[in-house]
Chains A and B, each alone.
Chain A
Amino acid sequence: MTLRRLLVYSTAVVIAAWVVFPLLLITLAAFTPREALYAWPRAIWPARFTLRTLGTFLQSADVVQSTWNSLAVAGMTIGLAFLISAPAAYALARYRFRGREAVQFLVLATKMFPAAILAVPLAVAFIRWGLYDTLVGVALVHTALAVPFVMTMVTGIFLAVSYELEEAAMTLGTNRLGAVVRITLPMALPGLAAAGIFTFITSWNEVFAASILTVDHRTLPALILNAVIGSGGGAPLDFRFAGGFFMIVPALVIMLLIRRYLLTLWGVALR
């Protein structure tokens, strides 16, 4: 093995360990009995595994409800983000118009604006509009966060479907909308699904807006954050580890399933 390859591989191992090690610790702890978590010195590899820890977490106050809240917010976010992004992405992919590049840049440039600065004005505005502490309000913010990415991804997906196919459909008797519905959308479906799942994860993991804009109607990450930093020293260790594990797993599983799509979405050639 050459020195160069040694360097590449050892760097890869370090980076992987940096990501994998915490995940591993959380996963182990999530299946460790409560007493063992509080024992000192604590063994990294628990003496026995249990599902009790996770069970306790799921039975804690509001966990199930906030999971449903998270799913509802994610669902609304996907719907809204696609409603806004898909037509815009179609226009960006199919038409050459003045200011096209500017639109693409500006949409992404909104990501450069720190969300923390928006927090207080946003909370005030939401209170005025009656959106404060509602799931719709959270979904709106998540949509705003997701639209730049979804638009960029979906533009790429539409570009990958040859325009000649739509034209062919039009010469065969459909109008443009029909051609999009019958040809472009079915062909783009796998990519669109991947983009949808990506949006789901964005919303599922988002904690900042969710915890600022809600009090009673918490999403799962907001609930866990609140419990962890809450008064009286916060939640017990078993709650923390089980909650962390519960948050990570969907994202991890989904990322694994759609990684091929994500790589192509971001413009990495994979063949």
Chain B
Amino acid sequence: MAQVRLEHLRKTYGKVTAIDDVSLTVEDGEFLVLLGPSGCGKTTVLRAVAGLEELDRGGITIGGRDVTGLPPGRRRIAMVFQSYAVFPHLRVYDNIVFGLRMARVPGDEQRRRAQDAAGLLQIQDLLDRYPAQLSGGQRQRVAVARAIVMRPDVLLMDEPLSNLDALLRLHMRTELKRIHRELGVTTIYVTHDQVEALSLGQRIAVMYGGRIVQHDTPSRVYDAPANRLVGAFMGNPPMNFLEGRARAAGGRAALVVSGRSLELPDRAAAWLAAHAADPVLAGIRPEHIAVSLREEPGTLAAVVVAVEPLGAQSLLTAAVGEQALKVSVSVDFHADPGQPVWVRVDGSRVRLMDARTGDAIPV
């Protein structure tokens, strides 16, 4: 177990920049999720930590050891691949002890550690089988067992759940969380699934275009996204963005949207007063909006576009002027398209952003 430090990593393929400039510290025992859309460079970062990619620039230390020039096998890492990469010509047991054999661990210790790992993953009954005789979920468990049996300083996982069906994915997610709790191994986990990131990560590093745009706890990443992209990426339905003009008078702040004013917390007043001419985006989570069929003071006027029942709740799409708004509403809520409604936004939960750059406003 160890702290992992990435310093100014850069990796290009010809003219394509996979990693622009990434610095990141993963604390000892921490579960860090690298989150981002496909092509953002998250897998390249993970492979660089594993030693499977050579960097153009930058350094990697694991537990204080500089591993930048070391081959994968000497970094004391273990990796779970997206395709599981379980060796098809070896039985499950031989798969699990493969790394131990390479490290010349004595036979009885191999057996003991393999049994422990198999127990943790609940695959003791499968040790004599070949991978072809296993289901996808079981192969996944073999891949994890093969990794943790190495007792690595860092456990690397590259979208390990993306090839499983939805139900199994949910189950394995819980399992991975349990395994991390029991072993306490430093883990770097790559995913494009924001739900996985929120549920597994102790901290999340959100990547875009080869850079880390936000590195924070899941609740901070969700509630206070660093920019518009992060806000739009996290959450389902994603964050809403309403553009308006700032108005700050007498120490009170508000945003004028389609002629109506949206009250903002007072702490925003100073910044807004200084940038009164700039267009501002209000990032609003769907759950922080209340919808009423009657006009009430302090609400924004909107028109229903669609109501989509989603089971536990319904998704209301409304138009505030020209701007669309997605709101989670109770399944009991009924409205017809074209019907006027009034939406109340919880001003204290609004995340303000500069409409031109998309970056969050520091208030």
Contact = CB atoms under 8 A, between A and B. Distances in A.
A4 to B, nearest CB: 39
Contacts of A168: 79, 81, 85, 87
Nearest to A172: B99
A5 to B, nearest CB: 37
B249 interface: no
Interface in B327-350: none
Interface stretch (B70-78, B214-222, B272-280, B300-308): B70-78
Interface in A146-183: 162, 164-165, 167-175, 178, 183
Interface string A173-214: 111001000010011000000000000000000000000000
A171 B148 CA distance: 12
A172 B88 contact: no
A153 to B, nearest CB: 20
A172 B81 contact: no
B89 A171 contact: no
A172 B89 CA distance: 16
B89 A173 contact: no
Contacts of B52: 167, 170-171
Interface residues of B, number: 23
B78 A172 contact: yes
A170 B88 CA distance: 16
Nearest to A189: B89
Interface string A103-128: 00000000000000000000000000
Given A167-B52, A168-B79, A178-B102, A173 B85 contact: no
A189 to B, nearest CB: 9
B102 A172 contact: yes
Interface in A126-144: none
A46 to B, nearest CB: 50
Given A170-B73, A172-B150, A174-B73, A164 B102 contact: no
A170 B71 contact: yes
Interface string B31-75: 000000000000000000011100000000000000000011110
A193 to B, nearest CB: 14
A186 B89 contact: yes
B83 A162 contact: yes
Nearest to A173: B102
B288 to A, nearest CB: 43
B168 interface: no
Contact of A164 (B78, B81, B89): B81
Contacts of A175: 71, 73
Contacts of A187: 88-89
B71 A165 contact: no
A135 B52 CA distance: 46
Nearest to A161: B88
A162 B74 CA distance: 22
A241 to B, nearest CB: 45
B103 interface: yes
Contacts of A169: 87, 98
Interface string A230-270: 00000000000000000000000000000000000000000
A172 B146 contact: yes
A171 B98 contact: no
Contact of B99 (A164, A165, A173): A173
B175 to A, nearest CB: 20
Contacts of A167: 52, 72, 79, 81, 85
Contacts of B74: 173
A171 B83 contact: no
Nearest to B80: A168
Contacts of A164: 81, 83, 85
A105 to B, nearest CB: 23
B73 A165 contact: no
Contacts of A173: 73-74, 99, 102-103
Nearest to A187: B89
Given A164-B81, A164-B83, A171 B88 contact: no
A178 to B, nearest CB: 7
Contacts of B50: 171
Contacts of A172: 73, 78, 98-99, 102, 146, 150
A79 to B, nearest CB: 24
Interface centre among A164, A171, A173, A183 (most CB of B within 10 A): A171
Contact of A170 (B72, B83, B87, B150): B72
A246 B89 CA distance: 38
B147 to A, nearest CB: 8
B102 A174 contact: yes
Nearest to A163: B85
Interface centre among B79, B83, B85, B146 (most CB of A within 10 A): B85
A187 B90 CA distance: 10
Contacts of B85: 162, 164-165, 167-168
A219 to B, nearest CB: 37
A215 B295 CA distance: 108
Contacts of B102: 172-174, 178
Nearest to B156: A171
Interface of A: 162, 164-165, 167-175, 178, 183, 186-187
6 contacts: A162-B85, A164-B83, A171-B50, A171-B72, A171-B156, A172-B146
Please provide the 8 A-B residue pairs with the shortest distance between their CB atoms, ordered closest to farther: A173-B102, A172-B99, A168-B85, A173-B73, A164-B85, A171-B72, A170-B72, A171-B79
Given A165-B88, A167-B85, 6 more contacts: A165-B87, A169-B87, A171-B79, A172-B98, A172-B146, A173-B74
